Structure 1
Amino acid sequence: MVVAVVATMSLPATATAQILSPGKLGRAHSQLEGLSHCTECHDLGKKINGELCLKCHDGLKDLIAKGRGLHATTAVKDASCVSCHKEHRGTNAAIADWNGKTEKFDHSRSGWALEGKHAKAKCAACHTASYVTDKPLRERLAARAESTYLGLVRDCRLCHFDEHRDQLSGGCDTCHTAAGFSPAPRFDHDKSFVRRGAHSKLECESCHPKLADTEKRVGSLKPKNAETFVKYAIGQPKGCTACHRDVHAGKFGGRCQQCHDEVSWRRISGKAQDVTFHDKTQFPLKGLHRQADCGGCHPSKPGGGMKTRGLKFEQCSDCHVDAHMGQIAKDKTGVVPCQSCHDENGFFPSRYSLVEHQTSRYPLAGAHQAVACNGCHPADTEFFAEATVKPTKSGPVPRTQLLNYTRLRRPELDLARCGSCHRDPHVGQFASGDRAKGCETCHVVASFSELAFNHDKDSVFPLVGKHRGQKCEACHRQEANGDSVLYRGAPSRCASCHTDPHRGQFNSQAPDGSDCGACHGNDAFKPTTFSHTDATLTDFSLTGRHTAVACERCHIPVGVEGDRTAWYRGLPRRCRDCHEDVHAKQSGSALARVGGSQADRDCSDCHVTADWHQAIFDHEGTALPLRGRHRQVPCQSCHPKGMGAQVEPRCVSCHLDVHAGRLGRLCERCHDSTSFAEGSGVLAHGQTRFPLYGQHLMVPCDECHRDRSDRTFGGVPSRCETCHADAYARTAGSGLDHVAAGLSRDCRQCHNAVGWQRGRLPEHERCFPLARGNHRSISCLQCHTALVGLQFDTCTSFTAACT
């Protein structure tokens, strides 16, 4: 390598450059040959820097900054210069890559697509130094004799001569396209002068003559093509007389369009836009007269022209026929007063208002005031079939042939009857009979649907309760023939509109189903107005507890025709038919003593409906009259359910002999019915090793002192499990299985004698209180995932699911 470097250093400079350069530069860059110029295009030791290119090509840099031309487009601007321009390929090599030929370049990429004849032009026809308008660029091109595609502007006059000689403003593309100079398809004559009528048929030369161009144009890029040009800039015409001769010599002013139009000079339009000149005559034009055709009032004269003198115009009838054909009475002068209802603004709408109508034989009231006139006054061509317009022998023929076939007078109508104009929607239901009525009985003129009808006063069916809130059509339906809604003869029985939920059980009371009101009101089907205490409605009056029993407890639903219907008629009435006979297993001897055999007695002999337990049985007639505490004892305490034998009137029949017979059976010798004892035994029990409190106070003595022969009450164990081992075992499968958890059998650690439910864990209360708040009602397993192995005498949370 050292030898190569030394050899290179010994070579001439030009030779060295050729060894390091990949090839000769193109002719445009030939002045940059040599090692001293490399960094003018390349960064030292790197590739070509595009910024260095723009340093020389400053004209291109300016176009990119302005967003013009090919190099300003996004696709080219963001690419490197060498992607399109190749160098070091020889002096004669093209720097730009044209895909083989410049004509193949897609000109739309430059932002200006070539269309029409432009697409066929050679590149050099436009891209020539003589068309460059940028002065610095032209000076550089002149100094270096370079060719360029820069410096052109999108102005037609850059390449083409202005054949209109600066007469028209705007761009050439306003009228012309690239397809050709002529014709000009975009030209719109209406933008400068709208051509109508005969103007639309004129040739251009009629208004736009050709003029000779004698002016010498210095500095034009393109020479003129023709020595003549068409005169366009004639300005907006100031009036018809600017082009046309005024044959009236100014007598009618300069506004010809008052009488003429563009279709033909000889045709009098009569649609003058300004008829103020007519105001100077004896008949100033007003309203629609200002729009009337002149020939409608001014007929043609023999030999041409219009008649303007000797015309009659004092009365409307001088020009107009009587449009109402004799229906309007004439005034004292024998003239129909048209101006009473009409004016010059038009035959319609009429000036005849509601105020005038109120003076007629039928003043309008209510909804009639909103009815369109033709609702009552129709057009009737048959009625006016004989009406014609006949010319008079003297004077002009009426020129307006408008006939109005509206019937203003209706003598054939009886205006006091609604039916003269309105169809009877009830098809005669109220038109005959003893109850014949006119429409005004129920309806008002304000609105047909706004009724004056009072259902409570004007009908045989007053509306009460929920009937009042029903829509009319709920009861008054369309008749079968579809002609009308049924009002007269509409059924009024309940069964006509409502189905019988009782399936005919009460038809014997009212076979036609009209007696529903005996039990039901109009406000609601339930609750009913039926009273079970009303002897006129039922033979089973409800008293006592019977009054609180739900109806369906006695009136049970039964199947009827596939449906369930409450059973009302034919229900049993005896106590035993509904209530269980609790005395059925007893011998009956006790009941027989106080009033005959059991079969002959009724429950009401001893019981009342207020309460079955409030018996009215007289115990004084038995072998055991009740005294003292016995009066307070419920019957079932001595007469329990299921007891079949007679109760013996001895203490031992009900009371346990706590003395096991050692003291005899005559309890009354020591005790009475007021109190068996004063509680001294319970108090004495407090002196023992097992004082009684809580539930233990209620436990019979022999529950613990089972050895009845031992009235010393000794030898009874005091441990909980002695009596409550079964309760301990019953916790298996519960929220806190004592057996599985291995809880202590000393129940007092968690429970007390006041009640088994619920136990308390003192240690748990210290760690996490459960005796109050929402946690008091949850089970152990709602928090603890397992209870086996828990130590209940210490705080622990290793099995708690919520920790």
Structure 2
Amino acid sequence: MVLGFASRVALASVLSPTWCSLSAESTCSQPSLSRQLHFRNTSKVIFRRFIIGIAFICTWNIGYAWADSLESALMPGQVIQGHAKWEEDCAKCHKRFDKAAQTRLCQDCHKDIREDIDRKQRFHGRLKEQRECNACHTDHKGRGENIAPINESTFDHRQTNFALNGIHADPRRAECKACHKPKVKYRDTPSDCLTCHKKDDYHKGIFDSKCETCHSDKAWKTSSFNHSKDTKYPLLGKHKAAKCESCHTVPVAKEKTPTTCYACHKKDDKHKGTLDRTCETCHTEKDWKDTPSFNHDKTKFPLQGKHIETKCKACHPDQRYKPTPVDCYSCHKKDDYHKSVFGEKCETCHSGKDWKTSPFDHDKDTKYLLLGKHKTAKCESCHTVPAAKEKTPTTCYACHKKDDAHKGALGRACEQCHTEKEWKDVHLFDHNKTTFPLLGKHEKVACKDCHADQRYKPTPLDCYSCHKKDDKHKGDYGEKCQVCHTDRTWKEITFDHNRDTKYSLNGKHKTTKCETCHKGHLFKEKTPTDCYACHKKDDKHNGTYGENCGDCHVEKNWKELLFDHDRHTKYPLRGKHIGLACETCHKGHLFKEKTPTDCYACHKKDDKHNGQEGKQCESCHRESSWKTVTFDHNKSRFLLRGQHGIIDCKKCHTTLLFKNISLDCIGCHEKEDVHKRRLGKQCESCHTARDWKLWDFDHNLRTKFLLDGAHKKLDCYDCHKKPMEGKVVAPTVCIGCHRRDDKHDGGLGPQCDRCHNTSSWKTIKAGSGAFRNR
């Protein structure tokens, strides 16, 4: 501002008038030489003053280091205190020649406002009209100016994220400054109850900070909290009269308050924890001392037999109830006559009814039947160690390993040769019952030729393991000798390509040499079976028809084609399609995979309807002839009835854009409407499509206004005078039509029918009382 004032003073001194300042005697009207001298002297004075003014301005500008640009030199005034640190940097808020950039620059600093606008939240985000920032907030008004004033009496708090309800909405009870503290942004004001009402918290934080769970902003002392409905813990019995603080003793939320009896009543536990913590098993909320009879049968160990008469302390010494073992052996170990030989599962043989009575049956109760010599064997003979029945082996070798005369050479399946009846009674071993029956030449082979050193298992079952030395093919045909040879005679070949492989030899393949297809003696495992793998070099199509040669060609003769479009594709050729060249539809030799099958894909250019009727051309057209149309109009939204069934399509459809046609009568028949729309647009109310002149409209049946008396003789247009849109609407009260006939000028009201009737207007009903009290 000082700079602007100095500049103006300098310019004023430069441009002040000096034309008439030479002497008192000189006048502006003197011509000639004196006037010329006056002009010359004046020009010199002006020029000197101009130079002095320019020097003054430059000196002034150099003297003030903060005026480092044209903008700072011309600044209209100081910015507010909050913007003071950017006062020298005009570009922080302004962009030359771009007024629209100012709002963006504002929001670069005020990112929270930009986020509100983007998310349409809080005050700025809910403004119906988003304006430039400087429309409401103008700066350069001085350090102490408030450029974001709020009218507390008119401000709509619903525009924020905290609508004022209840007491908050009453300005007499809740002033703005009560919630909005100095030096805290309005948007940063907390919205939870406890922040403002912490001093009012009667519970001292015991019930967490969610005041709204019980209280409302309508009345603080009115609480809608119902412990039974609002929590998962209904209050029953003695709990109904208990104070809240009795259970909620520390500042924790309701979710963390324990709901088990033991959590609160641990100090009242007379059992010292020996009966676990499920107090409700015996106690109720009605009365702590009211204990129902404990039912042992509801535990994991029902009392049966001798246990029913046993005293509790016999199993629960020192009143220690849990953990109490439920297995027999834990209590009856001292009574174990078997000294743990049969394991610890006493209940397998004994019962709680009587210890000495054993129902154990080895054949029924185990998976191992006692047969032969096993019936008379003592239990201890097999059950030699303290192990349960599950761990006792059931194989012969496990017990009779010491009796094995073969020293394990024949394996451990003793039962293949021996029986339980008598160990030495060995039945005839049948090799054919093994996984390798002896057939052909193998029947005469000595056992030791295959089972060297009497090692029977594992013995290989494949030919090659024994006959590798006999392989004349040197491994070229693999190791599956049985594919071609038999064990009856080695030289007899039984290989049949059609039977023994998945690829039958047909046509030209029958006379082809094996080596032609089986390169390097690689046969079934790696030889491809598809045509293209061998005949790729013979493909005249260069791969354009794919690799499934068998779709068109046969093995009998390569040039003989059997491709049938109807059979081999999902698109049979019909009508005009039969005579078309393949290239017409299959562009670039792309066939089944990418060729579309719908009409519209190929015939879009032929669509006279411009897509109005959709892309399902086949709904109306056929492949035999494009112009032959099979469209059934009665399947459309407009059924053809009466006269519509015989008129030419072009009468209604003047173009091929069918969906532009109106479906209501008046759309086509407006020029034939003799009523001039005075009876509305719904022609079908009276007329039919069968014959326009036949109509059966009955005013008494079809409307709510019966025609009687003089109304029967009236013409329709006497009442229906104006054109109407949609349904017919006409007044049904007398005064609606007879206002001009009212001799009373409205003095007796609009209810004419109280005195008059439709038969004769002048006939007055007796006793109508129309003039009563008048």
| TM-score normalised by structure 2 residue count | 0.30
Q: Which has the higher helix share?
A: 2
Larger Rg: 1
